[in-house]
Structure 1
Amino acid sequence: MSRILFSATLALVLALPAFAQEIPTYAPPPTMPADASKLPTIVLMSMGGTIASRGDTRLNITNYGGGMPRVDPEHWVADLPELEGIANIVLDDQRAPRDRPTGTETHEDCARVARRLEELAADPSIDGFVVTHGTNTMSEVAYYMNLTVKTDKPIVFVGSQRPWTGMSGDGPRNLYDAVRVAASPEARGKGVLQSTNQLINAARDVDKTIAYRMNTFVGVDVGALGYADPDKVVFFREPVRRHTTGSEFAGLDLAELPKVEIAYGYRQAPGYLIDAMVEHGVKGIVIDGVGAGSATSGVEGQAEAVKRAQAKGVVVVMTARTHGGRVQDTPRRREAKIVPGDNLLPEKARILLQLALTKTTDVAEVTRIFAEY
């Protein structure tokens, strides 16, 4: 009886319709065509970062670097033979000199890389760029390049949250996808891009939002431009703010920039910090303000210190510490001669203000620049 029951049950199961989710057919990575000259040529440029770091063990994903040898661009290419199927790779190492007393990246480094990108972009045989960078300041460095490099060729910034040697590291996949994005004809003319975790974001909009998780980079207000999906690179929208070939700051000699600092808004934030900035010669101040973008008030508050700074010719820009939504151009701000920072992060507003101050200190003109970029 049990054998008959089993046979009947099996027949019933086989007769039922299948409702299981369909599994997509695996698409193998593209292979090297017979004529490699048909592939786009992509410059792989290193500015260091976690993606260029090693840990002493595969489980070390937070305390890496130190005395470990760093990962050089040729190691990336050797570890990713799949790149041969999508692009001809040219290596260019632009990391800061090893003998510098401190590893902190400087404006001089950024200006040097910007000049190098423009120099290489003038070569008609080069189709695009992938620039690796540390995730801590990648979004602001990418925004600087977005404003200062005069080319419509794709420039894609990429990094990783885990070292190249880490177990289940995100570096290899991020780098592979970034090359795919830079090699995509649709990426041309969209300004500097940032590609991690399969997302493609505009340099202006992207922000690092999580300390260690791999889904850290997002466009808080506006979302991604597109995706580096396994089957193809797809774009759904384009940046509308001025950048690269449309930027009035692109192609300029920017060896030095005016001094601009950032003050944070919070309950009872003192004004003496702003006074100290002015004493140290700042030409502009960005205040990451409370609410929709406001300095704190009071006898010793920020608002009173702002007036003192403005009286000495300092230009003040207001962003919002909410990091979502715009600081708007209201009659009250206009009367107070405060430049609304739109929805820029304070560190990006600082870069734009530095560039603006190379041209003007007129508040109305600086306001125009912030509205267009």
Structure 2
Amino acid sequence: MTKIELMTRFAVAPVFALSLAWSGYTAEAADAGHLPNITILATGGTIAGTGANSTTTVGYTAAKVGVEALIDAVPEIKKVANVKGEQIFQIASESMTNDHWLKLAKRVNTLLAQPDVDGIVITHGTDTLEETAYFLDLTVKSEKPVVMVGAMRPSTAISADGPVNIYNAVVLAGSKEAEGKGVMIAMNDEISAARDVTKTNTSLTSTFRTPELGVIGYMQNNAPHFYRESLRRHTANAEFDVSNLDKLPAVDIVYGYANINPIALNAFIGAGDKGIVYAAVGDGSLGAGIKPDLIEARKKGVVVVRSSRVGNGIVARNGEANDDELDFVVSDTLNPQKARILLMLALTKTDDTKAIQTMYYEY
């Protein structure tokens, strides 16, 4: 074990153990003979990051601590679950790719098909955590809980948020209440649905929010408390199957802004994109500088989805554009990065825009 890993284990864990004692946790709270079996898949990120010293919360190095050290730093999780760890990747999440997603989804499905696995926890960097969560929400073929977790402070920070987030994620993944809820994110004592949550702040531990629809529950006193759930199709009820896929269709996002030009759009089309998500201003408005090129892209067979950079609200079909006439698709309430994920998966099944539009209203 490295010096940094020892710092993480012995500096952070005792503080966390004391917090559990204050909350009233006792070893008798769980029956050791009936603990759920949870697999933690580690992918890297800040939760596995290290800094120069205990006050370093900016300028640290992500994805340095291995999964076993993360587990050892929270010995309390062994009182609530039988935990196994697997290091599937060790990267900062801004480097996450489609290939990583496919490998992760296949591994999750393999594990959840095993009768001795009751739930999955995935440690992940926060930058693209919401995207990985939504991809899994559409491709996991089980109602067993899958919980994504990250941290905003590295493992060596004086008040690292990773240990308590991991503990809560394991408790959540092992709970009967979490079954059938789709992929969830457990951070900052909140439970969020993968479809709706987004990162809203560059550095605060309260960064993950669902501004209009709200969290689906809270973690309190070592247990989940649910108040709502996503009504959109997900996991076992989703139609997408990645088991035999080795690549995803090329889809990119074009960002809308004042005085927009079509250079980026046309570069993506020239590179062979099968779909484009236009992160438009307002309610998916099409600026004069790009509308003709979007129309031309559709004539070439590229599926065009109108989304919005606003981040909240429904993009209305036939509102700011005549979608029926132009044969465009609208993203409903999905933000651009999640609209891209759904479009990639949709294109593995069909290129019919009417069918794809139905998917945006169902997922």
Task: Give the TM-score of the pair, scaled to structure 2.
Answer: 0.90
Q: How many residue pairs get matched?
A: 341
SS in 2 for 1:94: strand
Which residue of structure 2 lines up, in the alignment, with residue 188 of structure 1? 179
Kept after mapping to 1: 8 A contact 2:42/2:123 = yes
Kept after mapping to 1: 8 A contact 2:64/2:90 = no
Structure 2 segments unaligned to the other structure (5+ residues): 1-20
Which residue of structure 2 lines up, in the alignment, with residue 339 of structure 1? 329
Distance in 1 separating the partners of 2:187 and 2:148: 9
Distance in 2 separating the partners of 1:193 and 1:33: 24
Gap change, CA 1:294 and 1:34, over 3 Å in 2: closer
Which residue of structure 2 lines up, in the alignment, with residue 77 of structure 1? 71
Which residue of structure 2 lines up, in the alignment, with residue 42 of structure 1? 38
Structure 1 segments unaligned to the other structure (5+ residues): 1-24
Distance in 1 separating the partners of 2:343 and 2:94: 25
The one-letter amino acid paired with 1:89 is V
SS in 2 for 1:325: coil
Which residue of structure 2 lines up, in the alignment, with residue 221 of structure 1? 212
Distance in 2 separating the partners of 1:97 and 1:65: 10
Which residue of structure 2 lines up, in the alignment, with residue 317 of structure 1? 305
Shift of 1:33: 6.8
Distance in 1 separating the partners of 2:204 and 2:218: 19
Which residue of structure 1 lines up, in the alignment, with residue 152 of structure 2? 161
Pairing 1:265-276 to 2, within 5 Å after superposition:
265-276=256-267
Q: Which moved more, 1:69-78 or 1:187-196?
A: 69-78
Kept after mapping to 2: 8 A contact 1:150/1:251 = no
Kept after mapping to 2: 8 A contact 1:42/1:127 = yes
Given candidates 274, 287, 292, the residue that maps to 1:296 is: 287
SS in 1 for 2:111: helix
Kept after mapping to 1: 8 A contact 2:168/2:222 = no
Residues 216-268 of structure 1 deviation map (CA, whole Å, 9 limit, x = unaligned)? 00112311010011353100111111111011104542211111110111111
Residues 9-65 of structure 1 deviation map (CA, whole Å, 9 limit, x = unaligned)? xxxxxxxxxxxxxxxx95422416796231111111101100011112001111111
Shift of 1:310: 0.8
SS in 1 for 2:89: coil
| Bigger radius of gyration | 1
Which residue of structure 1 lines up, in the alignment, with residue 11 of structure 2? none
CA RMSD of the aligned region, Å? 2.0
Which residue of structure 1 lines up, in the alignment, with residue 60 of structure 2? 64
Which residue of structure 1 lines up, in the alignment, with residue 221 of structure 2? 230
* Residue 202 of structure 1 pairs with residue 193 of structure 2: yes
Residues 135-173 of structure 1 deviation map (CA, whole Å, 9 limit, x = unaligned)? 000000111111111011100000000001111111111
Q: Which moved more, 1:197-206 or 1:34-43?
A: 34-43
Which residue of structure 1 lines up, in the alignment, with residue 234 of structure 2? 243
Which residue of structure 2 lines up, in the alignment, with residue 372 of structure 1? 362
SS in 2 for 1:47: strand
Shift of 1:122: 1.1
Q: Which moved more, 1:72-81 or 1:301-310?
A: 72-81
Kept after mapping to 1: 8 A contact 2:187/2:208 = yes
Kept after mapping to 2: 8 A contact 1:96/1:105 = no
The one-letter amino acid paired with 1:85 is K
Gap change, CA 1:221 and 1:35, over 3 Å in 2: closer
Distance in 2 separating the partners of 1:254 and 1:171: 33
SS in 1 for 2:355: helix
Given candidates 157, 170, 182, the residue that maps to 1:179 is: 170
Kept after mapping to 2: 8 A contact 1:96/1:103 = no
Gap change, CA 1:343 and 1:37, over 3 Å in 2: same
Distance in 1 separating the partners of 2:27 and 2:223: 14
